[in-house]
Structure 1
Amino acid sequence: MSSRLRLLLAAVGLLAFVWLLLAALDRALALAQRFMGLPAGMRWLLGLVLLLLALAGVAFGVWWLRPRKPRAPVTAPDRASLEARIEKLREAETDVEELRNELGELDRRRASARMYLAVFGEISTGKSTLIAALVPGATPARDARGGTTREVATYDTTVDGQDWTVADVPGSSEADGEARERMAREEALRAHAVVYVCAGDLTRTQGEELRWLGDFGKPLVLAVNKADQWHADELDRILDHVREQAGGIPDAVVAISAGGEERFTRHLADGSTEDVTRRRAANVRPLRDALDRLLAPGAAALETQRENAVLAGLHERTGERERAYRDEEAQRIVRRYARRAIVGAMAAVAPGSDLVIQGALATGMVRALASLHDVRVTDVEIDSLLRQVRMTLRTGTSVVLAIAGNALKAFPGLGTLGGGVLHAFAYALIFDSFGRALAATLAERHALDQDDASARMRELLGDAGTARLRQLAELTGEALRNR
Structure 2
Amino acid sequence: MKKAGSSFRRVLALLVAIASVLFLLFIFFATRSVLDIWDRMQLLPPTLFYTYTTIIVAFVLATIWLIWKLLKPVSTNSSHDIDNISKESVIEDIEHAEKQGMDTAQLRRELEELESRKETGTIFVALFGNVSTGKSSIIKSLLPNAEIDISVRGGSTQEISQYTWSSSSGDRLVLTDLPGRNEASGSLDELSNDEAVRAQIVIYVTDSDLSRTQFNDIKELQSFGKPLIIALNKSDRYNDEEKQLLKQRFEERIESDAQLVFVQSGGEEEVIRIDKNGVESVQVRPRKAKIEELAEAVQQEIDTQSGLLNQLRDASVFVLVKQKLDAEKVGFRQEKAAAIVKSSTRKAVMGAMASVSPGADIVVQGYLGTRMVKDLCELYNAPVKQLDIDKFLDFSQDQLKKSIPIILAVAGNGLKAFPGIGTVAGGLVHAVAYGMIFDALGKSVTKTLEQRGQLRAAPAALTFKEMLSENLESRAKLFARLVFEQREEHK
CA shift, 1:199, in A, is 2.4
Give the counterpart of 2:94 among 81, 86, 90.
86
Mapped contact 1:74–1:312 kept (Cα < 8 A): yes
Mapped contact 1:442–1:448 kept (Cα < 8 A): yes
Aligned residue for 1:418, secondary structure, equals: coil
Mapped contact 1:190–1:306 kept (Cα < 8 A): yes
Residue in 1 that maps onto 2:3: none
Alpha-carbon distance between aligned partners in 1 of 2:384 and 2:234, rounded to the nearest angstrom: 61
Alpha-carbon distance between aligned partners in 2 of 1:298 and 1:328, rounded to the nearest angstrom: 45
Percent sequence identity is: 30
TM-score scaled by structure 2?
Answer: 0.76
TM-score scaled by structure 1?
Answer: 0.77
- The correspondence of residues 38-437 of structure 1 with structure 2, limited to 5 A, is 41=29, 43-45=31-33, 74-75=82-83, 77-138=85-146, 152-159=160-167, 160-177=169-186, 179-246=187-254, 248-263=255-270, 274-297=281-304, 301-346=308-353, 353-355=360-362, 359-401=366-408, 404=411, 412=418, 415=421, 418-419=424-425, 420-437=427-444
The one-letter amino acid paired with 1:237 is L
Deviations 1:107-156 (CA, angstroms, capped at 9, x unpaired)? 1100000111001112222222122223433577xxxxxxxxx9631011
Q: Judge which range, 210-219 or 418-427, deviates more.
A: 418-427
Residue in 2 that maps onto 1:8: none
TM-align CA RMSD:
4.2
Aligned residue for 1:173, secondary structure, equals: coil
The one-letter amino acid paired with 2:172 is D
Q: 1:229 to 1:470 in 2, by over 3 A?
A: farther
Q: 1:326 to 1:244 in 2, by over 3 A?
A: same
Q: 1:226 to 1:418 in 2, by over 3 A?
A: farther
CA shift, 1:468, in A, is 6.7
Alpha-carbon distance between aligned partners in 2 of 1:378 and 1:91, rounded to the nearest angstrom: 21
Mapped contact 1:117–1:166 kept (Cα < 8 A): yes
Q: 1:269 to 1:225 in 2, by over 3 A?
A: same
Deviations 1:430-477 (CA, angstroms, capped at 9, x unpaired)? 111110110121233122112221232223223339987776555445
Structure 1 runs not aligned, ≥5 long: 1-26, 141-149
Aligned residue for 1:295, secondary structure, equals: helix
Aligned residue for 1:184, secondary structure, equals: helix
Q: 1:466 to 1:109 in 2, by over 3 A?
A: farther
CA shift, 1:175, in A, is 3.8
Alpha-carbon distance between aligned partners in 1 of 2:315 and 2:189, rounded to the nearest angstrom: 21
Structure 2 runs not aligned, ≥5 long: 1-15, 37-56, 149-157
Q: 1:46 to 1:80 in 2, by over 3 A?
A: closer
Aligned residue for 1:296, secondary structure, equals: helix
The one-letter amino acid paired with 1:314 is V
Aligned residue for 2:325, secondary structure, equals: helix
Aligned residue for 2:353, secondary structure, equals: helix
The one-letter amino acid paired with 1:377 is V
Residue in 2 that maps onto 1:460: 467
Alpha-carbon distance between aligned partners in 2 of 1:343 and 1:383, rounded to the nearest angstrom: 23
Q: 1:154 to 1:264 in 2, by over 3 A?
A: same
CA shift, 1:305, in A, is 1.1
Q: 1:442 to 1:73 in 2, by over 3 A?
A: closer
Aligned residue for 1:119, secondary structure, equals: strand
The one-letter amino acid paired with 2:194 is E
Q: 1:312 to 1:41 in 2, by over 3 A?
A: closer
CA shift, 1:277, in A, is 2.8
The one-letter amino acid paired with 2:176 is A
CA shift, 1:164, in A, is 0.6
Alpha-carbon distance between aligned partners in 2 of 1:303 and 1:224, rounded to the nearest angstrom: 26
